[in-house]
Chain A
């Protein structure tokens, strides 16, 4: 039994041990994760997806209260996008999808590649795993959401996200009702894959609005197979399948992603396209140790105490003969 199988066995035992947990294993226990395939050779950068995203999610956008509470210490800065709601050149709390454009040279000609960027919806999302409040979470269908009623805007999710996707708006959320001066700084926002549309059996708005059919959504394994096939047939390059241990967003590009990464504007709200190692891999290794620990300790405690008892019994017995 290898480490992964061992952990899976532990996982099965553990989830069964949590009554009412609604636990399941991805794609093996009835839960199917959905993924999106984006064929970048089709994208013309028209921005229909960005507009559709804004329309579909407008009701979720923050309406901050002013003035913002004074926060301590002074290094804590407010992040306010409410006066720049139309900004679409980067990710913001009001813009959950942005299009990056890379201009590269191919066969002596200039080629533009447009890349719709949003949350990758990782299979094992660090944002959800490391959120101290459970505000960031993964849905059964694989979409990663942030609960805006619980989020305190600490931005840890942005710090641990390999692409720095979630964006903060100050002046909204639960922190205003707790200790606004001393803890929290608003709410984090990002693509939630139009969860309300998914619940209604619809496609995400960006996917439906695309006139070029750049996006296709479906069960992860199916989409992964399609992405590999498309890449093989077109000599294309893949991104998202293995990044951060696997995401639910697969890009297929006619240009290597290293080239695209060099060509796109990067910075806050403008994610990179570099290879990403599995952020949670180290913790996965430790989890086996954590689960083995109480059993090892129990065995050691039982043996040591039993041996101690036997020794003291023997001592008493020998003493009895004196």
Chain B
């Protein structure tokens, strides 16, 4: 199926580039939740020592997620008013954003001291969040290559 080359081309507009930068930063801090930055010498690079600080990375991920959620919420609000038709790829990306937001919120909720979620649910949420992040990245890359925006 050929996507229409929409007026909205995220990478070619300042706002689109900012969105990509935000998503990459979230991906970076998210990947840093795995113990790999120290193992693979990233934290040894000058000025990158902070990437070995799990707690700092986690807080940064939450701070970036706050911006991501404001942005996604605003996009949803605008879409509800304008009711523009989504491209097929845009629909999948929007669904990935929603699912990422839900799983991320569930994980943040679980980390509150007065909240307990069953271990199986926590594991499912963790793995789903990781899989969704990978899928969202792949969809974003596809959209970038094809020059396809979220809406027609």
Interface, chain A (partner B; CB < 8 A): 7-8, 10-11, 14-15, 18, 20-26, 28, 31, 73, 75-76, 123-124, 126, 129-135, 137-140, 145, 147, 150, 154-156, 159-160, 183, 245-246, 279-280, 282-284, 286-287, 289-291, 293-306, 309
Contacts and interface: CB of A to CB of B under 8 A. Distances in A.
Contacts of A10: 109, 112
A21 B114 CA distance: 15
A124 B70 contact: no
Interface stretch (B8-16, B58-66, B139-147): B58-66
Given A156-B54, A309-B82, A26 B72 contact: no
19 contacts: A8-B112, A28-B114, A73-B40, A134-B122, A145-B119, A150-B123, A155-B35, A159-B35, A245-B113, A284-B111, A287-B62, A289-B63, A290-B66, A293-B67, A294-B76, A297-B76, A299-B73, A301-B76, A301-B80
Contacts of A135: 123
A8 B77 CA distance: 27
A301 B34 contact: no
A124 to B, nearest CB: 4
Q: Taking each of A11, A131, A290, A296, which has the highest tally of chain B beta carbons within 10 Å of its own beta carbon?
A: A290
Contacts of B72: 294, 297
B77 A160 contact: no
B88 interface: no
Interface residues of B, number: 55
The 9 closest A-B pairs by CB, nearest first: A301-B77, A297-B73, A134-B123, A301-B74, A293-B69, A305-B81, A154-B35, A22-B118, A297-B70
B101 A294 contact: yes
Contact of A300 (B77, B116, B124, B127): B77
Given A160-B55, A299-B77, 20 more contacts: A8-B114, A18-B121, A22-B118, A22-B121, A23-B116, A26-B113, A28-B114, A76-B39, A124-B111, A132-B130, A134-B127, A139-B119, A150-B123, A246-B113, A282-B55, A291-B105, A296-B70, A296-B73, A297-B69, A298-B77
